Structure 1
Amino acid sequence: MNLENRIPPGSYFQYSPTGIHGPLQRSSSLTDRERYLAELLGERQKLGPFMQILPICSRLLNQEIMRATALLSNQFVDQERMGQESPHRSVGQHMNGGQINMGAWSAMQTEENRLLQKMAPFQPSPLDWHVVPGTATTPVVKRVIRLDVPVENFPNYNFVGRILGPRGNSLKRVEAITECRVYIRGQGSVKDSIKEEKLKDKPGYEHLKEPLHLLVEAEFPEDIIDARIDHAVSILENLLKPVDESVDVYKKQQLRELAMLNGTLREESPSMSPRMSPSMSPFSNTGMKRAKTGR
C-alpha cells in the first residue's frame, strides 16, 4: 500500500500536546489558537518554495509561528490537572499561577532551534523563480520516508519523549524548521498500552502491529523535495541516536522548557542538571505526550 494513503490526514498525536482528546470543558480561545497555529504552519509550507525571493515574509512568518506556539503552550493543561485548573488563568501564566518570562521563553525556543540546525545544517539550493508567465513550472510532488526507531537495540530508551519534547513542542519545531510533517507510528506510539492493544485490530490502526517508526511526509516542487526530505531525515536520525544524559545538551534544553512551563525553573541553576527529579523530565510519563495513531 502506498505510504501516502496510510497517513491519516490532520493527525499527529494520540495524546495530543494541544489536548484534542481532553475533556470537553476547553476554552474557545485555546481552540482558536490551535486553529491559528495550524493555519500558520500551512501557510509556511506553501511559502517554502518562495523563501529565496520572499525572505522577509518568511522570517516574519517564522516569528509568528514561534509566538503562537509559545501562547498555545502557556495555556496547555494536562488531562490529569484539568479538574484542578482555573478557567480564568491568563496567557503567560504557569500552571501554579506565576508569570512566565516570555523573553526567556523566546530565547529558549531559539536555542533549541539552534541545536536542531546544528544537527543538520541546511542551505536551500538557489532557484531561479523568475519564470516567464505561461511557461511550465516544476510540478509539486509528495513523498513519504520511513525511519525505523532502534528500540530493539535500546529497549529502555524513551525515543518518543525525545522526539516530542515537553507538550510536543520539540516535534513542532522540527516540523517548522524542515517544513515536513512527522508522524510517530507503530508499537508504543499510543500512551495507553491497554488502549493500543484494543486498537490493533481496527481499520486504520494496522501500523500498531509494526515496530515503532517515524513517517516523514514532504510536499514540494520536484527539484527541491529531495533536499528538504534529507534535511528532515538528518535531524530525526540525530535525535534517534541515544546520548548519555551527562552530555545531552538537547535533553537539558527540553528539561529547562518543561520546568519553565510548570513554573519550577530555578534561575540559579540554568544548566538544569540531568540529575533532577524524574517528574521534571519530558522522558517520564507525566512530561511526555505520545504520538497520535488515529485514522
Structure 2
Amino acid sequence: MDVQYRLLAELEAAFDRLVERIDALLEVYEASPGQAWALESPRPDAEWLRRALLDFWYQDGQDGRVTRSYVGLIAANERLLGTVAEVNTAKSHFSTILAQIRQQAASLIPEIKAVLPFRHPVLHDHLRGQGLARLHLKQCWRHLPVADAPLSRVRLAWYTSGRSIKRLTTHDAERMLLALDSDAPHVRIQLKRLGGVPDGEALAQVQRQAPVMRANLFFREPLADGRSRRAMNLPLPLFIPACDGRLPDHNQPLPRPPQGRTRAKRSDERLEEEVFLPSLRIFRYRG
C-alpha cells in the first residue's frame, strides 16, 4: 500500500509539473511573433495551441489505441524551443512513473484516470457538462515533435497503409481461437482450417494502424551525421527552429486522409492476399 501511495503521489506531482510546463510554453507562444500554420485552423493562435496541447481526453466511442492529431507547423525562436524541451522532459518523467505503476500497481490506473483531471481548473473546465471524463494517458505523454535544425521545406502527406505484424505459431493461433466461443460455428470452421497447417509453419497477425500525417523535413544544411532530410509522424504541431520567425516552404495536404490505399502494393509482399483466420486477422505467409 505504501508503494501505491508513493507512486500515485509521484505521478500527481509529475502531472502538475507537465501542466505547468505547458502553461509556460503557451505564455511564450502568445508573445512570440513567429509564423504558424495548422491543417484545420485558419488562425493557429495560442488558444488553438492550448486545445492541442491540453487535449488529454477520450471522446465517446474512441478506440483506446487511437489518439487525436493536431497537425501544424510553428516557427520557434530559442526561447520557445527551450519551453518545448521542458515540456518534453516533463512528459518523459510522467511516462516513466506511469510505467512503474503499470508494473507495480496496475490497479491504480482507473483511479489515475478519474482523479488527475480535477487537479487543475483549466482542465476541469473541459469536463463541464460532460460528466466523468476519462484521461487518455498516451495523449498526456506523447512528445511534441521538434525539427533537428532549420528547414528549407516541409512536405506533408497522409500515410494510410501502416500496419503492425505479429509473428505467431500454429499453437498460438489455436489457443487464441479456443479463447473465443469454441462452440460457435465460425470458430469451429477456423479451427478445422488451422488443423490443416503444419505445426512448424509461422503465421502473421496483422493490425491495421490509423492514418497518420507524415512530414518529410529537408534541412537547410546537412546535419553533423550527413543527413539532409528526415521523415517523421506529426501527431502534434512541429516546432521548427527559425530565428527569423518564418516558416519554411510547405505544401497544403488534404484535411482528411484519403479513402483506401494510397501507395502501390509492395512487390515483395510476403503475406497471402486473403485472411486465413478472419476472427483474429491472421494471415499465412506465401509459400
What is the TM-score normalised by the length of structure 1?
0.24
* Higher percent of residues as helix: 1
Between structure 1 and structure 2, the one with the greater Rg is 2
Q: Which has the higher contact order (CA 8 A, sep 6+)?
A: 1
* Higher percent of residues as strand: 2
